[in-house]
């Protein structure tokens, strides 16, 4: 008991009662609101991105709606995607967002909310590329995001067809590598690829849809926050809010 109390006192002293937890439940401020710190990328539209200096996106708005129903005070800690699971395991953050694919392997290390979207990895090339099928990837370079499921998906394709994989930290650097010829093909979330094409005119050619996987919010293993998030999510599905968010961010 003494050790637990000491940990709580240190957390309060260091971060002023911000999200510093030992059980994944978030801390509570003087008004009774639960402080929930979320690890967040800021360059993966439509899920989350910066617009005129403000963080926005499908998951950002979804979290805001959940917070209102659950009386949460949500704050964000920006990080690369590959740092998120370690941050959850070390209790540096309470939750993490980034279009997380819910996979059996990840569920061994962390917990997930119920799914609120279904997505998948897609293999694409730039318009005008000589690559018309996976069989033409021999000797070519495929770019994917470090720490994301796209990295494993890209490696599987590379092993099968004799290509190599370049891992980069975020979507902007990945799409830049494809456009400037550093990479010959790209693997990423199909929703991210579709949003990229719709919003800035980037012309990409789909070579193959590699998989389809449910997407959810990631939490510390056995976090007590999961139940509340799921309850709010059920309400947002029932009242049409979730469907409206998907339409707003062109995810239908």
Annotated domain spans of the chain? 2-118+214-248, 121-211
Question: From residue 36, how far is each of 24, 76, 110, 116 by CA, in Å?
Answer: 9, 9, 16, 19
The answer to whether residue 3 scores a pLDDT higher than 80 is no
Question: What is residue 119's predicted lDDT score, i.e. its pLDDT?
Answer: 87
What average pLDDT does range 155-180 have in this prediction?
Answer: 97
Question: Quick one: CATH architecture of 121-211?
Answer: 3-Layer(aba) Sandwich (3.40)
| Alpha carbon of residue 191 to chain centroid | 12
Tell me whether the CATH fold assigned to 2-118+214-248 matches the one assigned to 121-211: yes
- The predicted model scores a pTM of 0.81
CATH topology of domain 2-118+214-248: D-Maltodextrin-Binding Protein; domain 2 (3.40.190)
**156 — pLDDT class (breaks 50, 70, 90):** very high
Question: What is residue 180's predicted lDDT score, i.e. its pLDDT?
Answer: 96
What average pLDDT does range 81-94 have in this prediction?
Answer: 96
The answer to whether residue 31 scores a pLDDT higher than 90 is no
């Amino acid at each position: 008991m003494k050790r637990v109390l000491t940990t709580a006192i240190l957390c309060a002293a260091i971060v002023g009662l911000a999200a510093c937890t030992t059980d994944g439940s978030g801390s509570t401020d003087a008004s009774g609101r639960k402080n929930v710190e979320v690890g967040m990328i800021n360059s993966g539209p439509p899920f989350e991105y910066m617009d005129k200096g403000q963080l926005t996106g499908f998951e950002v708005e979804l979290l805001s709606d959940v917070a209102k129903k659950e009386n949460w005070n949500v704050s964000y800690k920006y990080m690369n995607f590959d740092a998120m699971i370690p941050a959850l395991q070390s209790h540096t953050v309470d939750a993490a967002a980034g279009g997380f694919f819910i996979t059996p392997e990840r569920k061994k290390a962390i917990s997930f909310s119920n799914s609120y979207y279904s997505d998948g990895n897609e293999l694409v090339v730039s318009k005008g590329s000589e690559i018309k099928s996976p069989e033409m990837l021999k000797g070519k370079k495929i770019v994917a995001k470090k720490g994301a499921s796209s990295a494993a998906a890209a490696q599987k394709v590379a092993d099968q067809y004799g290509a190599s994989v370049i891992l980069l930290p975020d979507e902007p650097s990945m799409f830049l590598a494809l456009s400037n010829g550093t990479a010959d093909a790209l693997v990423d979330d199909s929703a991210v690829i579709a949003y990229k094409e719709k919003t800035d005119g980037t012309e990409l050619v789909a070579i193959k849809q590699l998989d389809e996987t449910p997407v959810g919010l990631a939490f510390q293993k056995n976090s007590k926050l999961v139940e509340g998030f799921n309850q709010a999510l059920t309400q947002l599905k029932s009242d049409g809010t979730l469907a409206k968010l998907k339409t707003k961010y062109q995810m239908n």
